[in-house]
Amino acid sequence: MALEEVRVEEIRRGGGVAAPRLSASWRRSESYGVPLDAVNPAFTGAVDDQSLFSECGNEVLHGLRDTLAGEPVSLMLTDADGLVLSRMCDEKALVDALDRTYLAPGFAFSEREAGTNGLGLALADRAPSLVRGDEHYCTGLWGYTCAAVPVMDPVFGRLVGSVNLTTWSDKSDGLLLALAQMAAGHTSALMLARGRGAEPRPTPRGEVFRVYSAHRGAEAPPELGRAWRAALDEVVAALRAGQVVAVVGETGAGKTALLGTALRTVHRDHRILNARPPNPRDAEAWLALWTPELAKETTSVIAGGVDALPQWAATELAGIVAAAPRASLAVTASEAAAIPAPLARLVDVVVEVPPLRRRPDDVLPLAEHLGARARGREVRFTPAAVKAMRTFSWPGNVEQLRRVVREAVTRSDVVDARHLAPEVLCGSSRTLTRIETLERDEIARCLAEPGVTVTRAAEMLGMSRATVYRKIAQYGIRTSD
Stretch 257-264: mean pLDDT, rounded? 92
Whether 4 maps to a domain, the answer reads: no
Residue 157 has pLDDT above 70, yes or no: yes
Domain identity same for 214 and 177 = no
Q: Considering only residues 432 and 141, tell me which one the structure prediction assigns the higher pLDDT.
A: 141
Q: What is the pLDDT of residue 427?
A: 61
Alpha carbons 275 and 328: distance in angstroms, whole number: 13
| Stretch 322-346: mean pLDDT | 90
* Domain-located, residue 393: yes
Residue 479 has pLDDT above 70, yes or no: no
Q: What pLDDT shows up at residue 216? A: 44
Asked if the structure places residue 480 within a domain, the reply is: no
Considering the domain architecture, whether residues 219 and 346 belong to the same structural domain is answered as yes
As a whole number of angstroms, the distance between CA 99 and CA 332 comes to 40
261: closest CA among 305, 307, 296, 220?
Answer: 220
229 and 103 co-located in one domain: no
> Which of these ranges, 26-30, 43-47, 217-221, 402-406, has the smallest mean pLDDT?
217-221
Diameter over CA atoms, the chain:
84
Residue 215: pLDDT above 50? no
Tell me what pLDDT residue 161 has: 95
Task: Measure the CA–CA gap between 176 and 409, rounded to whole angstroms.
Answer: 52
Cα separation, 76 vs 70, in Å, equals 17
271-287 confidence digits (pLDDT tens):
888 888 888 888 888 88
Q: Domain for residue 15, yes or no?
A: no
Q: What does the alpha-carbon distance between residue 84 and residue 177 come to, in Å, rounded to a whole number?
A: 18
User: How confident is the model over 347-384, as pLDDT tens digits?
Assistant: 999 999 999 988 989 999 999 999 998 888 899 999 98
Number of domains in the chain: 3
Cα separation, 145 vs 132, whole angstroms: 4
Q: Over the stretch 50-70, which tens digit does the pLDDT of each residue have? A: 888 999 999 999 999 988 888
Q: Given a cut of 70, is residue 200 above it in pLDDT?
A: no
Give percent above pLDDT 90 in the chain: 49
Residue 280 or residue 214, greater confidence: 280
- In a shared domain, residues 256 and 347: yes
User: Based on the domain organization, do 343 and 364 belong to the same domain?
Assistant: no
Residue 144: inside a domain: yes
Spatial distance between the Cα atoms of 60 and 89, rounded to a whole number of angstroms = 14
CATH number at residue 118: 3.30.450.40
6 pLDDT exceeds 60? no
Amino acid code (one letter) for 443? I
Whether 325 shows a pLDDT value over 80: the answer reads no
Question: Nearest 5 degrees, angle CA 323-CA 329-CA 332?
Answer: 130
**Per-residue pLDDT at 199 exceeds 70:** no
Residues 365, 471, single domain; the answer is yes
Give the mean pLDDT of the chain: 84
Domain boundary at 354, 382, 410, which? Answer: 354
CATH code of the domain containing 288: 3.40.50.300
pLDDT value at residue 380: 93
Does position 462 have pLDDT exceeding 90, yes or no?
A: no
Report pLDDT for 232. 95
The CATH number for 448's domain is 1.10.8.60
Q: What DSSP state is assigned to residue 392?
A: S
CA distance 435 to 392: 22
The pLDDT-based confidence of 107 (bands split at 50, 70, 90) is: very high
Query: Given this model, what pLDDT does residue 455 score?
Result: 84
Task: Report residue 198's pLDDT band, with 50, 70 and 90 as the boundaries.
Answer: low
Model confidence at 117: pLDDT above 80: yes
Is residue 481, in this structure, part of any structural domain at all? no
pLDDT at 328: 86
Q: Which of 155, 170, 194 is the last residue of a domain?
A: 194
**Residue that is last in its domain, among 321, 354, 387:** 354
Whether 201 maps to a domain, the answer reads: no
Question: With bands split at pLDDT 50, 70 and 90, how would you rate the model's confidence at 10?
Answer: low
Q: How confident is the model at residue 417 (pLDDT cuts 50, 70, 90)?
A: confident
pLDDT at 205: 54
Together in a domain, 176 and 214: no
CA distances from 230 to 214, 352, 363 (A): 21, 10, 17
Residues 54 and 182 in one domain: yes
Q: Are residues 367 and 396 in the same domain?
A: yes
Lowest mean pLDDT among 279-283, 420-424, 469-473: 469-473
Residues 240 and 373 in one domain: no
Whether residue 215 is found in the same domain as residue 317? yes
Residue 170 or residue 133, greater confidence: 133
Q: Looking at the domain assignment, is residue 14 inside a domain?
A: no
What's the confidence (pLDDT) of residue 362? 93
What pLDDT score does 217 carry?
42
What's the mean pLDDT in 243-250?
A: 94
Average of per-residue pLDDT across 306-322: 91
Which of 29-38, 94-103, 450-459 is predicted least confidently? 450-459
Task: Give the pLDDT confidence score for residue 337 in this predicted structure.
Answer: 92
pLDDT band at 14 (very low <50, low <70, confident <90, very high): very low
Least confident of 78-92, 209-223, 333-347: 209-223
Same domain, 42 and 182: yes
Which pTM value belongs to this model? 0.69
Structural domain that includes position 103: 31-194
* pLDDT band at residue 142 using 50, 70 and 90 as cut-offs: very high
Give the residue, 398 or 202, on which the prediction is more confident: 398
Q: Is it the case that residue 44 has pLDDT exceeding 90?
A: no
Give the residues across from 159 on adjacent strands.
Answer: 152
